[in-house]
Amino acid sequence: MCMKAQCSTCNKTTWWGCGSHIPSVMDAIPADQWCSCEPQVEKEGKKYPPRLQRWPDCKAV
């Protein structure tokens, strides 16, 4: 299951989890609030922020 999280680099919204639910998490968030760090992840033909790499470093939103 994926959930939204705060990027520890840019402090914008990204995601953390298995990767199967990225659209359901991120599409509910305005794109101007998305993390802009690289590399982006492509899912269902759309680009999304990268997955937060380590859960302890993130702040659940």
How much is the pLDDT for 53?
81
42 backbone dihedrals φ, ψ, rounded to 5°: -100, 130
**Cβ atoms of residues 48 and 42 within 8 Å:** yes
The dihedral sign for the CA sequence 8, 15, 1, 43: negative
Domain that holds residue 43: 3-60
Tens digit of each residue's pLDDT, the chain (61 residues): 899 999 999 999 999 999 999 999 999 999 999 999 999 999 999 999 999 987 655 555 5
As a whole number of angstroms, the distance between CA 11 and CA 46 comes to 22
Going by C-alpha positions, the residue among 58, 60, 35, 56 that lies closest to residue 47 is: 35
> What is the count of structural domains for the chain?
1
How much is the pLDDT for 61?
56
Where is 23: in which H helix or E strand?
Answer: helix 22-26
- pTM for the model: 0.82
